Structure 1
Amino acid sequence: MSPLQAQDNKFVVVLDAGHGGHDPGRPTENGYKEKDIALKITLLLGAELEKNDDFKVIYTRKTDVFVTLKDRAKIANKADADLFVSIHCNAHHSQASGTETFVLGAKNSERNMAVAKAENEVIFLEDNYEQHYEGFDPSSPESTIAIGIEQEVYVEQSIVLARKIEDNFVNKAKRKSRGLKQASLWVMHNTYMPSVLIETGFITNKTEGAFLNSKSGQVKIANAIKDAIVDYKKELDDNVGSGILGTEKLDTETVETLENLPLVYEGITFKVQIAASSKNLATKPYNFKGLSEISKVKVGKLYKYFYGSTSDYNKVKQLQEEAKSKGYTSSFVVAYKNAEQIDLAEALKSAAN
């Protein structure tokens, strides 16, 4: 069954409260426990979703118990879920603040890698972790990059949901957003559905920690996530048959509000191929339904025509949707490296190295 389709008329959401049991999560000086706050937000979120008959909610834990990262993904896959949502709190030695929502991806900044390392290190608390995680080392950048590849097919949908969540944190919960990020997090590895990991704020920040530890704060966070999930499902329903979630609905104002980091792949140039023809056309807007920034290359007897040129994968997907809206319905993204066209999947992988 397609991951874009709800099963049995129910949209299945797996809610994952981070940490638990003998794994308290991030340490704090003010007594707040990540495992407790994450669970309370998760249960509030689940209760709100369950009020809607369109949703079926499955929890990786509903009490203070330890669940391995591997089993969290297993629960989601067994349920054939439509979404996997993992709830956490952030921590830092400074008074850093703000929400972050992560999708699984190979592109890691130093900061994102630090988050990935911290969230993945719970593996060491598990029995026989060497056998369970196939040599995965949470301290190794190579390991954390490698786990992102299998989930690549779901990244686009995950990004749509993540942006809705961060948008709601800003506009509805009135929180500071640190944006959407990509990192290699094991809890989302091998989850065969769109997946996000939400850092609801910093429990090490005096003000934000108190907010997250309060019932009113937890309700605001839970409702912001709930509304994003409901909106995400509605967008899916509106796009049935199109096979893709359109990023055109994410306006630039929303993205700027989120201070979103572009998904830039250094050394890679993405373009949208809109046509191939034996005709040598001038690359002017009047020849291409008003589209500007057209380029062409001759391959054999054919001319290939491209729209746009960017190293930002998010941007090129938006350009593709724009081209489709102009009538180029079969347009697709291509990748170039050192002026040579390469396979798109290879481009997304190689850029991580």
Structure 2
Amino acid sequence: MNSQHFYKIKITTKILLSFVFFTAFLFSGTVTFAQKKDFVVVLDAGHGGKDPGKVGYRNIKEKNVALKIVLQIGKLLEKEKNIKVIYTRKTDVFVDLWERGSIANRANADLFVSIHCNAHTSQAYGAETWVLGTHANKQNFEIAKSENSVILLEENYEEKYKGFNPNKPESIIGLTLMQEEYLDQSIQLASIIQHRFKTELKRKDRGVKQAGFVVLYQTYMPSVLIETGFITNKIEGPYLNSNAGSKKIANSIYKDIIQYKNQLALNSVADSDIPKKIDEKPKESTSQKTVSNNSNIIYKVQIAAGARKLTTKSYNFKGIKNVERVKVGRIYRYYIGSTSNYKNIKEKQKYARKKGYKSAFIVAFKNGNRIPLEKVLSKS
């Protein structure tokens, strides 16, 4: 199969999926849970079989730690009503990256969570959660390259990944396009995960990061890759490998998924948010503040996103006024606030959460283009 034919198939698949979601939307009030009753979570234990992943302190293998954590997360989730759990692997077998994403896509999953462990020549430690994005620096690229190199162990990888070389930065540049509309939700979950690691488990927070992971690129839903810790660290490695440690990590991630699911329901634009009679004709919303070429950074708070195009009147948003609507792909994003003062936008975020938008989060723009908030804050 040549690369041109492959991309035609990918595009056709996206169109068909778009039609399915659009049709479901017409017959259901809520976009997020339309078409099906269960919230489907795909749990992916990294590596496996002939691919041990990273090998750490006292020969601790990443594949074993990842599987142990995944099985414990799954066991907890399976006790929840209206949640269906699907595993990419439940035993020590090799599953190629392509198939991992395909499993999630075939299941029409709502969430894809991939579990991994980190390694380093130093005694580095701590947890970090990744979402798809072009590598922001050499270090991020090297991490993605390490995970993506698994494809070299797959049969016929030259044909399956024609044109993709995990060792070349240019191969990663286009990976974000397919996941762009899910990036906000991926970051939302990643932020929840890191917050709980830090506050409840007292793990070192290495942050939410972006890089070109093939396993995330393959999925058509919000997706995260969690590096639960460093198995090369003399303390953290045995902790992750222990029954007690892996159980705590699994329980934390389980809580994160439940919190994300609940927040998603709260922040979905549903028919229940729209009055039976609308007296005013919907009008296009414009930005509350024009960003000029001389502006530096503009912050906004995203309160909701969905396929429904709503008039930006306060009655549609729990009494919140001055809502801005922006269309990105097939998704409408709804913002409040537009300021270069970070303190002021934090107050806007608190206000939105008090009004019921519990997962409202801050986004940053430079010269009208959205940029990673972490990048802005790191330079502050």
TM-score in terms of structure 1 length: 0.72
Do the aligned partners of 2:131 and 2:211 also contact (CA within 8 Å) in 1? yes
Is 1:227 the counterpart of 2:258? The answer is no
Count of residue pairs brought into register by the alignment:
284
Match of 1:198 among 220, 226, 229: 226
Give how far 1:159 is off.
Answer: 0.7
Give 1:97's aligned amino acid. Answer: Y
Distance 1:87 1:106 in 2: 20
Q: Secondary structure at the match of 1:30?
A: helix
CA distance 1:323–1:177, shift in 2 (3 Å): closer
Once the two structures are superposed, the pairs formed by residues 166-315 of structure 1 within 5 Å of their partners are 166-241=194-269, 307-309=338-340
Is 1:80 the counterpart of 2:111? The answer is no
Q: Secondary structure at the match of 2:58?
A: coil
Give how far 1:149 is off.
Answer: 2.4
What runs of 5+ residues in structure 1 fail to find an aligned partner?
244-266, 274-288, 292-305, 328-332
Once the two structures are superposed, the pairs formed by residues 19-30 of structure 1 within 5 Å of their partners are 19-30=47-58
Task: Give the equivalent residue in structure 2 for 1:251.
Answer: none
| Larger CA deviation: 179-188 vs 4-13 | 4-13
Once the two structures are superposed, the pairs formed by residues 134-153 of structure 1 within 5 Å of their partners are 134-153=162-181
CA distance 1:199–1:324, shift in 2 (3 Å): closer
Distance 1:9 1:316 in 2: 40
Distance 1:130 1:317 in 2: 48
CA distance 1:236–1:206, shift in 2 (3 Å): same
| Larger CA deviation: 77-86 vs 26-35 | 26-35
Give 2:223's aligned amino acid. Answer: S
Deviations along 1:42-61, whole A, 9 cap, x unmatched?
Answer: 00000000010121000000
Do the aligned partners of 1:6 and 1:12 also contact (CA within 8 Å) in 2? no
Match of 2:149 among 115, 121, 131: 121
Distance 2:42 2:35 in 1: 14
Deviations along 1:284-330, whole A, 9 cap, x unmatched?
Answer: xxxxx999xxxxxxxxxxxxxx93249x9xx99979968989x9xxx
Distance 2:34 2:249 in 1: 25
Distance 1:335 1:316 in 2: 15
Give 2:200's aligned amino acid. Answer: K
Give 1:54's aligned amino acid. Answer: N
Is 1:159 the counterpart of 2:190? The answer is no
CA RMSD of aligned residues (A): 3.4
Do the aligned partners of 1:105 and 1:149 also contact (CA within 8 Å) in 2? no
Q: Secondary structure at the match of 1:199?
A: strand
Distance 1:239 1:169 in 2: 24
CA distance 1:26–1:162, shift in 2 (3 Å): same
Distance 1:70 1:164 in 2: 27
Distance 1:121 1:268 in 2: 39
Distance 2:82 2:345 in 1: 30
Give how far 1:334 is off.
Answer: 9.8
Distance 1:319 1:189 in 2: 35
TM-score in terms of structure 2 length: 0.67
Give how far 1:142 is off.
Answer: 1.6
Q: Which aligned segments of 4 or more residues in structure 1 are displaced greater than 3 angstroms?
A: 267-273, 315-325, 333-337
CA distance 1:6–1:47, shift in 2 (3 Å): farther
Is 1:70 the counterpart of 2:92? The answer is no
Task: Give the equivalent residue in structure 2 for 1:301.
Answer: none
Once the two structures are superposed, the pairs formed by residues 317-332 of structure 1 within 5 Å of their partners are none
Once the two structures are superposed, the pairs formed by residues 1-150 of structure 1 within 5 Å of their partners are 1=21, 4-5=32-33, 7-150=35-178
Q: Secondary structure at the match of 1:101?
A: strand
Give 1:67's aligned amino acid. Answer: V
Q: Secondary structure at the match of 2:164?
A: coil
Give 1:135's aligned amino acid. Answer: G
Task: Give the equivalent residue in structure 2 for 1:282.
Answer: none
Q: Could you tell me the percent identity over the aligned residues?
A: 50
CA distance 1:145–1:212, shift in 2 (3 Å): same
Give how far 1:197 is off.
Answer: 0.1
Give 2:109's aligned amino acid. Answer: A
Do the aligned partners of 1:103 and 1:195 also contact (CA within 8 Å) in 2? yes
Give how far 1:109 is off.
Answer: 2.4
Give how far 1:151 is off.
Answer: 0.6
| Larger CA deviation: 66-75 vs 27-36 | 27-36
